[in-house]
A and B are shown apart, each in its own frame.
With several copies, the nearest count.
Chain A
Amino acid sequence: MSRKYVMEFERPLIELEEQLVALRRIDLSDNPDLMIEVSALASEIDRLRIETYGHLTPWERVQVARHPDRPKVQDYLAAIFSDVIELHGDRLYGDDAAIVAALATLDGRRMVVLGHRKGSNTKENIKRNFGSPHPEGFRKAMRAMRLADKFGLPIVSFMDTKGAHPGIDAEERGQAWAIAESLALLSELHVPIVTVGIGEGGSGGALAIGMGDRLIMLENSYYSVISPEACASILYKDSARAADVAEPLKMTAGDLLDLGVSDETIPEPLGGAHQDPEAVFSAVSERISSAVGSLVVIDDDELVERRYKRHRAIGVFEEGA
């Protein structure tokens, strides 16, 4: 059995858990003292589990958001949607595997699903560039957005990216242009747009398909103007100090709710969504249905107006003399 992925902060807990497993393999029926010790260890582990996972720091949440076993857009598509037809290509240059666009059905409601698509394993991650889109990915998403708009299909967008790909070809094919145009387009669509932050929400590359009428964040997903590593690299000239900036950047689901940027937080199982994906699927499905349901009844123009006001209102500043 391959060793499971261990996040740094959960290592002490995992090690104790492994010791407990080892101890329980031994027949202790003639050693009551040791049995008591094992029992104490089990209690200690229970306590430590709560301590470890019960109050995650922002940096720990970032690690949970990046956990390789964390459910990804393809898992949501498989688990909660039916009649899925993936749409491909930007009709211009390529079919970016880091973005998924699909016709999909949730609770009988036809919609367009967008998402950053990370791979489920290393090989797939290389193909999908670890979920970091090139311009053609955003342009594929834009094509799907226009299709949704034309045919009155609500859009549900799953945000999960470290960010738009920083590369020579991406810059030369207009990464900034693709993101900007996607934002302008999203602002004018006459259909509801619900975004779910399911993992990483890295900067403009996340926003480019994440701007909409409702933002729902999983408890351990993050959404930030800059990755904590890049921020630490700028401020401390040391990307290893990411943990130090994760808190001040206010990038957790809780921060976003406090700041009025997100609308709701979906709690995760103790330790993260990967500990009980089924529970997460069910909650996400229910919250999307509810959000879309509350938006489809709004008149088109009113919807666009509200979306404008929603983003118009974000920002804190002072009116001087």
Chain B
Amino acid sequence: MPIADWFKARDERRYTSIGGGSAQTDVPEGVWSKCDACKRTIYEGELVAANRVCPHCGHHFPLTAMQRIDLMADEGTFVEFDAGLTSVDPLQFCAVKPYADSLDAAQDKTGLNEAIITGRATIGGHDVVIAAMDFRFIGASMGSAVGEKVTRTLEAARAEKRAAVIVTASGGARMQEGILSLMQMAKTSSAVARLGSAGLPYISVLTDPTMGGVTASFAVLADVVFAEPAARIGFAGPLIIEQTIRQKLPRGFQSAESMLQHGMLDGVVPRDELASRVSLVLDYLALASQSGDAS
């Protein structure tokens, strides 16, 4: 767009905030985005072409679950599992507002039935099951539906002798389902253990943020665990920690880079290398587990 047209059209644009940041600065929706990290504006087309990584500073914008799958799976290979599986409100939970309303709102906002999309696909030609979480859906918290979908996906991997690849993003357990959501940690961890006993590979990719009960269950139990740059990864939330220890948290605390240094990750992988990296790991683990070359 010529610069003169741009100025002319400026007043017609609607502005909105992108990326879930707290800064309420105006950004042109649809055409221009503003980076949460470096605050510079980015032309939307450029952002899409870069898989929503800021071309100025490398900040990784959030992706939707479907964008995640598009990023990872070989084109046209994804077939969804359990698309209609949805949460109900088992506890009739109501505090501040009814859980049922939160579910409706999340479904309206995202067009999704739940906070995770699961299915079958190939990655670099390897048969996999794949799952990706969508943080827009009640913080991609894990309730019964997320736990069930993760478990079915891992069970499908076992039954069909596929590798499992899961891309996480989650605030943790879905408290509105109370103890039922806590138990999804036990359920999904059991399913990972079974997949492992069957000798099938599981790779996880932790994206910003992966916290609480999702980190403390299926997310970190993978054979190889990668994370995106600067992703926040941990169990307890930083606010709770600050309240408990009554001191400021160190810079970079719970960042992917810090967790790598502390021995918790196999690597921090920029988004544009993720698919090829996972595919290469599958070359090692999936081929070996199928051909039994060495054993």
Contacts and interface: CB of A to CB of B under 8 A. Distances in A.
Q: Report A-B touching, CB under 8 Å.
A: yes
Interface of A: 83, 85-95, 103, 109-110, 136, 140, 147, 150-154, 164-168, 170-177, 179-181, 183-188, 190-192, 203-204, 207-208, 211, 223-226, 230-232, 234-236, 244-245, 248-251, 255-256, 259, 261, 296, 300, 307-308, 311-312, 314-321
A132 B245 CA distance: 13
Contact of A312 (B177, B187, B197): B187
B260 A225 contact: no
Given A175-B216, A207-B183, 20 more contacts: A86-B267, A94-B261, A94-B263, A95-B260, A95-B262, A152-B288, A164-B236, A180-B217, A183-B186, A184-B190, A184-B196, A203-B213, A225-B178, A226-B173, A251-B179, A255-B178, A259-B178, A259-B180, A261-B179, A320-B84
B110 interface: no
A321 B80 CA distance: 13
Contacts of A185: 193
Interface residues of B, number: 91
B251 to A, nearest CB: 12
Nearest to B281: A85
B234 interface: yes
A188 B197 contact: yes
Contact of B96 (A92, A188, A208, A236): A236
Interface of B: 82-88, 90-96, 113, 143-145, 147-148, 151, 173-175, 177-187, 189-194, 196-197, 199, 201, 212-213, 215-221, 223-224, 233-237, 240-241, 244-245, 249-250, 253-254, 258, 260-267, 277, 280-281, 283-285, 287-289, 292-295
Tell me the dominant secondary structure on chain A's binding face.
Answer: mixed
24 contacts: A85-B280, A89-B262, A94-B262, A95-B260, A151-B289, A171-B235, A171-B241, A175-B234, A176-B234, A177-B216, A179-B185, A180-B216, A187-B193, A188-B193, A191-B294, A207-B185, A225-B179, A231-B95, A236-B96, A311-B183, A311-B186, A312-B187, A315-B184, A317-B143
Contacts of A235: 95-96
A167 B246 CA distance: 10
A264 B293 CA distance: 25
Contacts of B144: 314-317
B179 A317 contact: no
A151 B284 contact: yes
Nearest to A110: B284
A245 B97 CA distance: 12
Contacts of B180: 259, 261, 314-316
B233 to A, nearest CB: 8
A152 B295 contact: yes
Given A88-B267, A207-B182, A225-B213, A167 B261 contact: no
Contacts of B147: 315
A187 B186 contact: yes
B225 to A, nearest CB: 8
A244 B223 CA distance: 42
Given A147-B223, A176-B220, A187-B186, A168 B85 contact: no
Contact of A83 (B91, B254, B261, B280): B280
A225 B181 contact: yes
Nearest to B197: A188
A203 B288 CA distance: 33
A167 B241 contact: yes
Contacts of A244: 95
B221 A321 contact: no
Contact of B179 (A94, A191, A192, A224): A224
A276 B21 CA distance: 54
Nearest to A296: B294
Nearest to A167: B245
Given A95-B260, A179-B235, A321-B84, A315 B187 contact: yes
B291 to A, nearest CB: 8
A317 to B, nearest CB: 4
A309 B7 CA distance: 63
A151 B199 contact: yes
A184 B240 CA distance: 26
A261 B96 contact: no
Contacts of A232: 95
Nearest to B83: A320
Given A180-B221, A225-B178, A319 B84 contact: yes
A133 B187 CA distance: 22
Nearest to A256: B179
A148 to B, nearest CB: 8
B175 A166 contact: no
Given A167-B244, A312-B187, A317-B148, A85 B277 contact: yes
B241 A168 contact: yes
A230 B262 contact: no
B215 A176 contact: yes
